A = this chain, B = another copy of it.
Amino acid sequence: MKELKTFFDECCKSVDETLDRLVPSSETEPQRLHEAIRWSLFAGGKRFRPALVLAVGQVFEVGEEKLLKTAAAIEMIHTYSLIHDDLPAMDNDDLRRGRATCHKQFDDATAILAGDVLQALAFQAIAEDENLSAETRVKLVSELARAAGTPTGMAAGQQFDLVAEKKVVSIAELERIHHSKTGAMIKISAVAATIIGGASAKEIEAITDYAAKLGLLFQITDDLLDVTQTTEVLGKTAGKDSAAEKATYPALYGLRQAQNLAEKIRAEANESLSGIDRDTRILRELSDFILNRKM
């Protein structure tokens, strides 16, 4: 078993190469659009979702060539959502991954279009992936569209989040926000690899359960980092959740309780894997990594 760090490094490299092939070059017209897409896509993102695709794929012994375009497509959807979420009309953020957000570096109109195009490119990448059967591609497009869209997907979650700002939110509402806003795309990252790998119904259920817990863990630690880390470390504006009076786990539970919750969820994520009769160590390491992440 490779070290997780090595796994992440290799994953970033393969995914970046795939993204580079799937997105028109900066010299291709309209140049400003492709520059803007590449500005955000190659801004040093952690590639957490693609890594999850590859990690689950490894558990089901799927060759990387069958996973990379789907992994890249998921990262494109994720990046489009960051570009749109950062817009002045949404979260109005100037800083992302340590540098200017897309609309600050270019302009609002270009940023809107860059996000729109990334979404189209994502579905195109899967539809044109000749390493997969047509049936598998159709299933992936359907599941990814549901994860990105509505009523339980990422964009719906962003709308829940907007509506929740500056009002008192219950823990149940907070969980619904994150279940859709971050959870859905993390879940599809894991589930996509089970679809490609032809996993059994029981295995898909276990992985879905694991991924739901992992998504929750990711969100709790994201909220914690917003409170405990500096802007410099995060590469995005720290403390902005409380400034915007956003519903977060530390705000609702208190810092210490939120940290305890994160540990409990990590344990539950790993427990979900117990029914799978395969080597799932990499997925346990991944949940440990998320629990302890510093950015």
- Could you list which residues of chain A lie within 8 angstroms of chain B, going by C-beta atoms? 24, 28-30, 32-34, 80-81, 84, 87, 89-90, 107-110, 112-113, 115-117, 119-121, 123-124, 126-128, 133-135, 137-139, 141-142, 145-146, 148-151, 153, 155-156, 158-160, 162-163
Contact = CB atoms under 8 A, between A and B. Distances in A.
B120 A150 contact: yes
Question: Which applies to chain A's interface (DSSP): helix, strand, loop or mixed?
Answer: helix
The 9 closest A-B pairs by CB, nearest first: A120-B149, A89-B108, A124-B145, A134-B134, A127-B141, A127-B142, A30-B159, A33-B159, A123-B123
Contacts of A115: 116
B112 A89 contact: yes
Copy count, this protein chain? 2
Contacts of A123: 123, 141, 145
Nearest to A25: B151
Contacts of A128: 142
Nearest to A111: B89
Given A112-B90, A116-B155, A145-B127, A150 B138 contact: no
Given A30-B163, A150-B34, A163-B32, A120 B145 contact: yes
